[in-house]
Chain A
Amino acid sequence: MESTQLLIQLSYVVAAGLFIYGLKLLGSAGTARRGNLLSAIAMLLAIVAALLDQGIVEYQWILIGFVLGGVIGAGAARLVQMTSMPEMVALFNGFGGMASLLVGVAAIATATGTFTLVTIVLSILIGGLTFTGSMVAYGKLSERIGSAAIVFSGQQIVNSLIVLGILASAVMFCIEPANAQWLYLVIGLSLLFGIMAVIPIGGADMPVVISLLNSYSGLAACAAGFAINNNILIVAGSLVGASGIILTQIMCKAMNRSLSNVLFSGFGSAGGPAEKVEGEIKPISVDDAYYILEAASNVAIIPGYGMAVAQAQHVVKELTEILEKNGTEVNFGIHPVAGRMPGHMNVLLAEADVPYDQLLEMDDINPRMENVDVAIVIGANDVVNPAARESEGSPIYGMPVINVDHARTVFVLKRSMASGFAGIENPLFYKDNTRMLFGDAKESIGGLIREFGN
């Protein structure tokens, strides 16, 4: 191996090590920022090494690409609201997928051997479906298109036909790589499949979809690595692939559903006969809520996507401070699928300066719930639904939930009595110890803060 090539390969080895060590540091909140920095240094090293390659004779297009992408990326990263992180991650997943698709197509010109052709097809296929799938997910998350699941009769058959079409055209492409129509067919069908795969998935299942697409964007990079014989792509791509798969698993477990159920069932679109819940709704005024909170010594706050929508995280933090000054212990209970992506609530609360050790995972807060005087549910619904424990007929039966109904009193901050994202009745609202605080979450909490001020 001549010396430049050796230097490049050695740089890749160091970069791989840094990626791995960076991910390891991401395992704890104290070191995570350093981990991310190491990972960025690894990327820089890999890019510089790639630029040294002697096959590169012209830098202008590379530079234009860098500047264009860098400016867009940096702008988006600075401007994005924390509530919109799921949309941004979805978009970026899509770009990653598209880049891998393009690399796959560009690699055809120099491809030799069936193995390379197969990996090229894989990078086109995974990259393509990641791209369109992510765009649909982006549309649903940003509510540019309806976020409800779209299901129609014969959907499975149509999808199966697409898969068969992809397989057939992929095989034909590997046999006849010179014939461009097979390539176009593979590209077109992969793009179509991405759309078809994501439209039947409802908004409440988005945490699973984003995790899965995240995984795919890594796997696409991995396949592109095989296609151009580059091991740093394989290492980095498979790390991302593994990460996405684990998050997908965690999300599915938190909903007590299998991945195939999430992907194919169109959950929350049809819905069985709604179970009638007996009982009475008991609204409460801000005034009365204040008196109960003022006397409470232990408060748990359970946020959901509604908190993000109402942009209420900052007033929530303010209320927390007032309560703590009043001698009340305040904790947050975070359900794994609260929000629209894994860890969404944690980021929002971190933005509002809530320390991360005040955020308890579901398994930590549930045993403490009996000692909680007031549990405040802000814009969460399905993740606190006791029907998941109690009523076997409920579509979410068996899903682990935060047992707010075990607290002495539950306040539910809610805009109206419409049911949650999944369209499931919530018996929590009818329990004896539940009080409904109707209205915009931000205003209700603002009202409580004013009461404490008086």
Chain B
Amino acid sequence: MDAVFLTFILMLSIFLGFELITKVPATLHTPLMSGANAISGITVVGAIGLAGTGQQDLSNWLGAAAVALASINVVGGYMVTDRMLAMFKKREG
């Protein structure tokens, strides 16, 4: 049942994603991509659970490495996107 439920979520999000992204203008495609990149760092949420089990086993180390890698994505992705978007200005007047 869990599997069906998760697949259901998957299907809805994909359609929603298509609807949202097709509306993004070409001029914002690079920030969109780096922003999406930051969102894909969501893996960090999964990695946290694996890195904090307190058992000094392989899973734990792998989880910690995943936290580090995904954090690069999250922090770097959001910061660089913000830096880019701050540069986009409209013609004055």
Once the chains bind, are B25 and A29 in contact (CB under 8 Å)? yes
Inter-chain CA distance A66–B17, complex, in Å, is 28
Q: Which residues of A contact B9 (CB under 8 A)?
A: 231, 234-235
Q: Does A347 contact B (CB under 8 A)?
A: yes
A96-B54 contact, Cβ under 8 Å, with A69-B75, A102-B63, A355-B90: no
Once the chains bind, are B75 and A102 in contact (CB under 8 Å)? no
| Interface contact tally, CB-CB below 8 A | 370
> Which of B2, B31, B69 has a CB less than 8 Å from the CB of A32?
B31
Stretch at the interface among A39-47, A407-415, A426-434: A39-47
A222-B60 contact, Cβ under 8 Å, with A46-B42, A65-B67, A244-B36: no
Q: Taking the nearest CB of chain B, how far is it from the CB of A350, in angstroms?
A: 4
Of A27, A36, A228, most B-chain CB atoms within 10 Å: A36
Inter-chain CA distance A347–B86, complex, in Å, is 10
Inter-chain CA distance A210–B91, complex, in Å, is 30
Once the chains bind, are B36 and A95 in contact (CB under 8 Å)? no
Nearest 4 Cβ contacts at the A-B interface: A69-B71, A242-B17, A65-B67, A73-B76
Inter-chain CA distance A115–B47, complex, in Å, is 20
Q: Which residues of B contact A361 (CB under 8 A)?
A: 26-27
Once the chains bind, are B71 and A70 in contact (CB under 8 Å)? yes
Nearest B residue (CB) for A44:
B74
Instruction: List chain A positions with a Cβ less than 8 A from chain B.
Output: 19-20, 23-24, 26-30, 32-33, 35-37, 39-40, 43, 46-47, 49-51, 53, 55-59, 61-62, 64-66, 68-70, 72-74, 76-78, 80, 82, 85, 88-89, 92-93, 95-96, 98-100, 102-103, 105-110, 115, 210-211, 214, 217-218, 220-222, 224-247, 250, 334, 336, 341-344, 346-347, 350-351, 353, 355-359, 361
30 A-B pairs within 8 Å (CB atoms) are namely A20-B20, A24-B23, A26-B32, A32-B85, A33-B85, A43-B38, A43-B41, A43-B42, A46-B45, A58-B53, A65-B67, A66-B68, A66-B71, A69-B69, A73-B76, A92-B34, A95-B69, A96-B43, A98-B66, A99-B69, A109-B59, A221-B43, A227-B46, A235-B13, A238-B13, A242-B13, A244-B33, A245-B18, A355-B91, A355-B92
A239-B63 contact, Cβ under 8 Å, with A47-B45, A62-B48, A74-B79: no
Once the chains bind, are B64 and A239 in contact (CB under 8 Å)? no
Once the chains bind, are B63 and A23 in contact (CB under 8 Å)? no
Inter-chain CA distance A52–B65, complex, in Å, is 20
Once the chains bind, are B69 and A241 in contact (CB under 8 Å)? no
Once the chains bind, are A26 and B28 in contact (CB under 8 Å)? yes
Once the chains bind, are B67 and A225 in contact (CB under 8 Å)? no
Q: Which residues of B contact A244 (CB under 8 A)?
A: 33, 36
Nearest B residue (CB) for A363:
B26
Main secondary structure of the interface of B (DSSP, over half): helix
Nearest B residue (CB) for A59:
B52
Nearest A residue (CB) for B77:
A92
Once the chains bind, are A233 and B45 in contact (CB under 8 Å)? yes
Once the chains bind, are A43 and B51 in contact (CB under 8 Å)? no
Inter-chain CA distance A361–B25, complex, in Å, is 9
Q: Taking the nearest CB of chain B, how far is it from the CB of A145, in angstroms?
A: 22
Once the chains bind, are B50 and A23 in contact (CB under 8 Å)? no
A356-B88 contact, Cβ under 8 Å, with A62-B48, A72-B72: yes
Apart from A62-B67, A77-B75, A96-B43, list 6 A-B contacts with CB within 8 A.
A19-B39, A36-B35, A66-B68, A238-B17, A243-B32, A336-B26
Q: Which residues of B contact A100 (CB under 8 A)?
A: 43, 66
Once the chains bind, are B30 and A69 in contact (CB under 8 Å)? no
Nearest B residue (CB) for A96:
B40
Q: Which residues of A contact B28 (CB under 8 A)?
A: 26-27, 29, 32, 343, 346
A99-B27 contact, Cβ under 8 Å, with A239-B16, A356-B90: no
A247-B33 contact, Cβ under 8 Å, with A32-B85, A73-B77: yes
> Which of B17, B39, B90 has a CB less than 8 Å from the CB of A39?
B39
